[in-house]
Amino acid sequence: MKELEDRIRQDGQVLPGNVLKVNSFLNHQIDPNLMMNMGKEFADHFKEDHITKIVTVESSGIAPAVMTGFQMQVPVVFARKHKSLTLVDHLYTADVYSYTKQTTNTISIDDRFVNADDRLLIIDDFLANGQAVEGLLKIADQAQATVAGVGIVIEKSFQKGAELIQE
Ligand code: 5GP
């Protein structure tokens, strides 16, 4: 999407370790108009795929996922990265190594919110080594749900994630 490419060129900052900082419109401050346009783009791209639900990982996947869910008129579920008193059992879980934080988190989704009838669209902010998406694929597998598509705001195609997920 040209609007996104222009915005990355204008506001993005490349940090050591091939990390792109886009805190002014995606990872800290959020530009709702840009996110809405991302949502329209994803909704249009996956319009023939009979999506029943959007899944993402907190926190930076939530904005584009909600905008996509709004456009497609389907619910949005975000996997939690931290344990919560209100989320203790009946969970699907997967371990995810974070490229930017260099830590492993167990992500989880309540089993009531994803099930075998679902056709899921996975949305996330970045695709680097593919760990976050792979974690969501494992959760979809546990739920016996179908993954109908994966939509990523910024794909770092020089890292191995895209190839891994396409396989
Ligand atoms: P992966 O699991 O594909 O290795 O990495 C995806 C996650 O790592 C994203 O959800 C994002 O939070 C973070 N990430 C990976 N690369 C970058 C980057 O260059 N910039 C930012 N801001 N986050 C990144």
pLDDT per residue as tens digits for the range 72-119: 999 999 999 987 777 778 999 999 998 778 899 999 999 999 999 999
Mutate to test the pocket of ligand 1, among 30, 99, 154 (most ligand atoms within 8 A of CB): 99
Position 84 scores a pLDDT of 76
Q: Is 124 in the pocket of ligand 1 (CB under 6 A)?
A: yes
Q: Is residue 98 part of a domain?
A: yes
What is the mean pLDDT of the segment spanning 26-34?
Answer: 98
Task: Give me the interface pTM, i.e. the ipTM.
Answer: 0.97
Q: Is 61 annotated as a binding residue?
A: no
Q: Is residue 78 part of a domain?
A: yes
Q: Is residue 23 part of a domain?
A: no
Q: Is residue 9 part of a domain?
A: no
Q: Is residue 82 part of a domain?
A: yes
Q: How many domains does the chain have?
A: 1
pTM of the model: 0.96
Q: What is the dihedral of CA 65, 67, 72, 74, to 10 degrees?
A: 60
Position 27 scores a pLDDT of 97
Q: Tell me the residue range of the domain where 41 lies.
A: 32-166
Give the integer Cα–Cα distance in Å for 20 and 6. 14
Q: Is 20 annotated as a binding residue?
A: yes
Question: Cβ of 43: how many Cβ atoms within 10 Å?
Answer: 21
Q: Is 72 in the pocket of ligand 1 (CB under 6 A)?
A: no
CATH code of residue 142: 3.40.50.2020
